[in-house]
Structure 1
Amino acid sequence: MLRRTRTAIGLAVTALVVALSAPAVQADTAAPSGPASDRAGADDAVYVVQPRSDGTTYTAIYEPAPGVTADELRSTLRRQGVRGVQDESSALGIGIAGCSPIVGTASAWCGHKWAYGPFNDPQVYFLDHSGDSWPVTDARVDWYQAPGIDAYYRWHTAGCPGGGRHCVHVYSGNYGTAWYGLTEASTSGGYFVDGSVTVKLNDQVTPNTYAARRSVACHEMGHALGLDHNGSTNSCLSVPEFPQHPSSDDFAVLNQLYPKPGT
């Protein structure tokens, strides 16, 4: 009943916001620039890149579990048959990690952003398939406050609203002991492909506390909006600390990644 109540409230608020904003049609802006010469912060994550025959590229970011190094996670993924696992130097070289805009310790995920569609800000809906121990709706509240992009929550049975709005599916489960969280997507021309972006939250290794699970959810949802890691432990996009909220630097990157029309 609580899920349904939250969903109903979320849908009502969403409808009100869309009705009041009356956005004009806006052409998409250019994709973000190439990899920055300096990383915003230390990054122990593992990146996967798989070019596909249809011209899209599958990419994923894995966050190593406690006690697992990035090299150990790479070895595990390769043993599991995952193709395109990148060494740190190759991820930087092909422009996957740590791209501009960079603000302080925060940076964008290279070549991963949402199209505006018929709105002044991209509209992204997180469709929640996760278990009750994951406060996805609370983590989404932080990202709704971010400038440049609008993030909404829906229980997954409500479906994706369409009409130029984008959706990210959020799952939880027992995914082994090698990683905390995973964000995966297909991109084309520097933009996320609709229907391809998925977040997976690992029940098996994430402590079953509100703080830890909100932090991991916040972290992966930040990737799904176009952010890379943040070198500051004041941000939920840090690795492997458990801060529960984004930082002002994360918001500043999103503000530059999604500038207002005409600016």
Structure 2
Amino acid sequence: DHWWGGYHWATSGGGLALNVGDNVDSTWDPYLDQTITDWNVSGWLDFVEVSGGTTPRKCRPTAGRIEVCNAAYGNNGWLGIAQIWLSGGHISQAITKVNDTYFNTATYNTPAWRRLVMCQEVGHDFGLDHQDETNNNTNLGSCMDYTNDPDGGPGGAVNDDPSNEHPNTHDYDQVQIIYSHSDGGAAAAAIDSDAPDHPSQWGRLMRQNKDRRIQVFELDLGQGRKMLTHVFWADEENDGRGNDKK
């Protein structure tokens, strides 16, 4: 079970259909395209890529959809973040940001790292959490598995583990569990909000894994509304070890 806190978009029980706003540049376009294709394989998600509704730098949320952005957000420590806004107990809007300040370095400027982080952060945007949060163990073959060796194989924990660049069957099973029940189909109310980049603006720390590479923050916006931030912190020294085989 890797449902993130029970968070989900309101649906009528027949799956989740959402527009995904493309606010990424030509370097990231194929990775966003692949992520949307991969998640739609579940049969319970119908994501349609549309023109972005914001600017990459601000990456403000749009009610009723996911916005995906890339920019050089600075040396703030994070490689990627997913932010969701809750209204009436359901997700009303969401964003994914990938930080080119780190993806332009030798450690992270690889197709495998780009696929892993894009796939994982969009997964958080509709309610998935990680299958596993241990950094240097055998890959599970899922982008929702935390790893320092996203393409698997020689150079990682073992020499024959799978890549973590795409969802796996367990991810699709979890999606079905989340989106096969009915909430009545009424969309959650929109929330007028920025999407802050800095940890000091994310509210209180709710949880973290043992090495503090993964953290979740919650900001109370009042009137039953919240913003949650799921963070994938960069660690160039340890993450670079998985690239030694390149």
SS of aligned partner of 1:205: helix
* Offset at residue 124 of structure 1 (A): 1.5
What's the CA shift for 1:240? Answer: 3.3
CA distance in 2: counterparts of 1:212 and 1:247, whole angstroms: 17
Structure 2 distance, partners of 1:260, 1:190, is: 15
Please state if 1:144 is matched with 2:144.
no
The whole-number CA distance in structure 2 between the counterparts of 1:189 and 1:147 is 27
- Where in structure 2 are there 5+ consecutive unaligned residues? 55-62, 133-138, 151-163, 183-246
2:14 and 2:179 in contact (8 A); partners too:
no
Q: Residue 108 of structure 1 contacts residue 226 of structure 1 at CA under 8 Å; is this kept in 2?
A: yes
CA deviation profile, 1:204-243 (whole Å, cap 9, x unmatched) = 1132222221221111111112101121541111223422
- Residue of structure 2 equivalent to 1:111: 6
Letter in 1 for 2:73: Y
The answer to whether the 8 A contact 2:131-2:145 is kept is yes
Indicate conservation of the 8 Å contact 1:111/1:191, yes or no: no
1:225 aligns to 2:126 (yes or no): yes
Question: What residue is the counterpart of 2:95 in the other structure?
Answer: 198
Structure 2 residue aligned with 1:180: 79
Distance 1:187 1:197 in 2: 9
Paired residues of 1:125 and 1:152 also in contact (CA < 8 A): yes
- Normalising by structure 2, what TM-score? 0.55
Q: Distance in 2 between matches of 1:120 and 1:208?
A: 38
Which one has a larger percent helix, Structure 1 or Structure 2? 1
The yes-or-no answer on 1:238 pairing with 2:145 is yes
Alpha-carbon displacement from aligned partner over 1:68-127 (angstroms, at most 9, x marks no partner): xxxxxxxxxxxxxxxxxxxxxxxxxxxxxxxxxx1xxxx01113201116x832211211
- Closer, same or farther in 2 for the Cα pair 1:233/1:120, shift >3 Å? closer
Cα distance, 1:155 vs. partner? 2.7
Cα root mean square deviation, aligned: 2.4
What code does the residue aligned with 1:219 have? Q
Give, in angstroms, the shift of residue 167 of structure 1: 1.1
One-letter amino acid of the structure 1 residue matched with residue 87 of structure 2:
S
CA distance in 1, matches of 2:173, 2:72: 34
Choose 173-182 or 135-144, whichever is displaced more.
173-182
- 2:60 is aligned to none
**3-state SS of 1:219 partner:** helix
Mapped pair 1:121 → 2:121? no
> What secondary structure sits across from 1:197 in the alignment?
strand
Letter in 1 for 2:94: V
C-alpha distance in 1, partners of 2:84/2:181?
A: 25
Give per-residue Cα distances to partners, 1:144-178, cap 9 Å, x unaligned.
111322222123269xxxxxx93100010112331
For residues 167 and 128 of structure 2, what CA distance do their matches in structure 1 show?
Answer: 11
Does residue 258 of the first structure (1) align with residue 179 of the second (2)?
Answer: yes
Identity of aligned residues (%): 27
Q: Is the CA contact 1:123–1:166 (under 8 Å) kept in the aligned structure 2?
A: no
Instruction: Please list every run of at least 4 consecutive aligned residues from structure 1 whose deviation after the TM superposition is greater than 6 angstroms.
Output: none
- Could you say which residue in structure 1 is the equivalent of 2:186? none
**Unpaired runs of at least 5, structure 1:** 1-101, 159-164
1:219–1:236 CA contact under 8 A, matched in 2: yes
Equivalenced residues, count: 148
